[in-house]
Amino acid sequence: MSDWESGNRPGWEQQESSAARPPESAADRKAAAKAEKEASKEWKLVEKLVMSLQAEQRKSRRWGIFFKLLTFAYLIGLLLFIQFPIGGALDSATGDAHTALIEVNGTIAADQPASADNLVGALRRAFEAKSSEAVLLRINSPGGSPVQSGYVYDEIKRLRALHPDKKVYAVIADIGASGAYYIAAAADEIYADKASLVGSIGVISGGFGFTDALGRLGVERRLYTAGENKAFLDPFSPEQESDVAFWQEVLETTHNQFIDQVRKGRGDRLVDDERLFSGLIWSGEQAEGLGLIDGLGSASWVARELVGNDKLVDYSPRQSTLRQLVDQLGVSVGRAVGDMLVQSRYELR
């Protein structure tokens, strides 16, 4: 049906009708302008609010980045402090004359604070310091590895020859036994308290045999080796007399090396007593009578009375705070027990 038939006017007539409408009045135009102005204000307020929110977000992101960087710097600083603690050896930078102090504490072993690497480094710094007048070893150790002790002994002798004007004194606190006494024997003079424990010049090796326990548990030991002695002293295999005899030779050889170094260090100050090298441990008072030490005295007494300078500067390497915390929590104890159960180790004790 066409527009004519439906009664609808064609589009040109509608346009004509629209054009025929009267023009808007001034009041209408004023109202329209006012509405447009108010709408513009609203948009400006919305735009201002959006810009403000964006600014706050940018500021928040900047502060977030700042605090993240600050936290990161703090953690890095804390890690450096734990790994390289301040104090102790830093005092050695002083130019004043002093007595160099080196602590020998705990078990003497490669993975302990009293390792040869740590002690040798401290000894070199102490001897090379122009302001140090003497080197004092303050010992509180039950001993440990004969290899580590031997390294330190040899280094003391070498440094002593390079610096003949600097004497080495060893002072034993609670205990200076076995490998610890091995180290002390390299000093020019040794002192201790009357109740200190000194000596124990011997070698010990121990382990466990689990053969019967495995049998009771119904466990069969299967061991495959290339080399007839590769399973030497295996704790899960029956003990062989030939293995025990051979190992005893090793212990005797190490013991003789120990005795030889003590004799070289102490010389004719040792009395002729067969018990000296039997592994017995003596009080400081007894040790003085046997020639194992030169007298009774503390570290401060030695520095004041013998060296003539009671200012002690500690050159000892510092154990990290983290390692101390781990040790206090008992991890080192558990590791030591595991070593005793699984391994057969020999030590100077």
Query: pTM higher than 0.75, yes or no?
Result: no
CA distance 183 to 122: 14
34, HSE (Cβ side, Cα atoms, 13 Å): 6
- Amino acid 128 reads E
CA distance 197 to 211: 37
The 10 Å Cβ neighbour count of residue 105 is: 16
Provide the pLDDT for residue 88.
43
113 CB contacts (<8 Å, ≥6 apart)? 105, 106, 317, 319
How far are the Cα atoms of 157, 299, 305, 347 from residue 163, in angstroms, in the given order? 10, 21, 21, 31
Provide the pLDDT for residue 341.
46
CA distance 155 to 161: 10
End-to-end CA distance of the chain: 122
Three-state DSSP class for 75? helix
Distance of CA 310 to the CA centre of its chain: 30
CB 179 within 8 A of CB 106: no
CA distance 33 to 14: 28
Handedness of CA 263, 265, 270, 276 (dihedral sign): negative
Token duo for residue 142: 């039950």
pLDDT, averaged per 10 consecutive residues of the chain (349 residues), comes to 48 48 65 73 77 81 79 75 49 73 95 94 95 96 95 97 96 96 96 96 86 82 84 82 89 93 94 92 96 96 95 83 53 52 50
Provide the pLDDT for residue 89.
43
The secondary structure element, H or E, covering residue 17 is helix 11-19
CA distance 265 to 118: 22
Provide the pLDDT for residue 94.
53
Q: How many residues does the chain have?
A: 349
| Dihedral angle, C-alpha 116, 118, 122, 124, nearest 10 ° | 50
Output phi, psi for 81, to 5 deg.
-65, -40
Put residue 87 in one of left, alpha, beta given phi > 0 → left and psi -120 to 50 → alpha.
Answer: left
Rg of the chain over all Cα atoms, to the nearest angstrom: 42
Q: Are strands 197-199 and 281-283 parallel, antiparallel or unpaired?
A: antiparallel
CB 147 within 8 A of CB 179: no
- Amino acid 272 reads D
The 10 Å Cβ neighbour count of residue 54 is: 10
Taking each helix axis from N to C end, the angle separating 116-128 and 146-162, rounded to the nearest 10 degrees, works out to 10
Closest-CA residue to 43 (of 31, 33, 51, 55): 51
Closest-CA residue to 140 (of 158, 168, 113): 113
Token duo for residue 261: 């170094």
Output phi, psi for 255, to 5 deg.
-65, -45
